[in-house]
Amino acid sequence: MRIGAGWDFHRLVPGRPLLLGGVELPCDRGEDGFSDGDVLVHAVIDALLGPAGLGDIGSNFPPGREDLRGISSMVLLERTMDMLRGEGLSVGNVDCIVALEEARILPHVPAIRASLARALGVAPARVSVKGKTREGLGDVGEGHDPDGARGRVGEAAHEGARPLDRHEEAALCAV
């Protein structure tokens, strides 16, 4: 069994959709980014690539590569899954935390779980998405990006991705 962790952080800016796990949430701002900026998918991708020994999202999908400009992060996740399958790996479960002050994710959690589960090739019950705020503390809570410019920031952390060798899957079912 392998366990990975991923983390990502995007500034929220006007004029962009707020995407989490391939689902657009109602919000007047969205993640800035070279791709569509889906911060949760980026964190999941890193959590999958690490334990597979396949590098990270930046090395596989470098920002600045023109064919990746504006690309759906769900497409990047599909490509990541192709790479994992090529190594004989599959996903056991993922457990995600999204810290976000501006939008409440709870009503959208079922859709986000279903969307990620579809891409990961697992049942929605194997995908956990938890929402947190920072209670007004820190950069996320204050709504300031690290440069002090006005703008909310979003953050997603992902822990416990367990890409498994196929023969290990039965063991995972007991987790």
Q: Tell me how far, at minimum, the Cβ of 11 lies from Mg ion, in Å.
A: 10
Binders of Mg ion among 14-73, rule CB under 5 A? 42
Q: For residue 144, which amino acid is it?
A: H
Q: Tell me how far, at minimum, the Cβ of 8 lies from Mg ion, in Å.
A: 4
Give dist(CA 113, CA 79) in Å, integer. Answer: 19
From the CB of residue 171, how many other CB atoms can be counted at a distance below 10 Å? 13
* β 94-99/127-132 pair status: parallel
Helices (H) and strands (E) in the chain — how many of each? 6, 9
Q: Which stretch binds Mg ion (CB under 5 A): 6-14, 125-133, 135-143, 158-166?
A: 6-14
Q: Which is nearer to Mg ion, 46 or 164 (CB)?
A: 46
Q: Which of 4, 6, 8, 99 binds Mg ion (CB under 5 A)?
A: 8
Q: Tell me how far, at minimum, the Cβ of 10 lies from Mg ion, in Å.
A: 6
DSSP per residue, 127-162: EEEEEE--TT-HHHHHTB-TT--B--EEEEEEEEE-
Interface with Mg ion (CB under 5 A), residue total: 2
By the rule CB under 5 A, 108 interacts with Mg ion: no
Footprint on this chain of Mg ion (rule: CB under 5 A): 8, 42
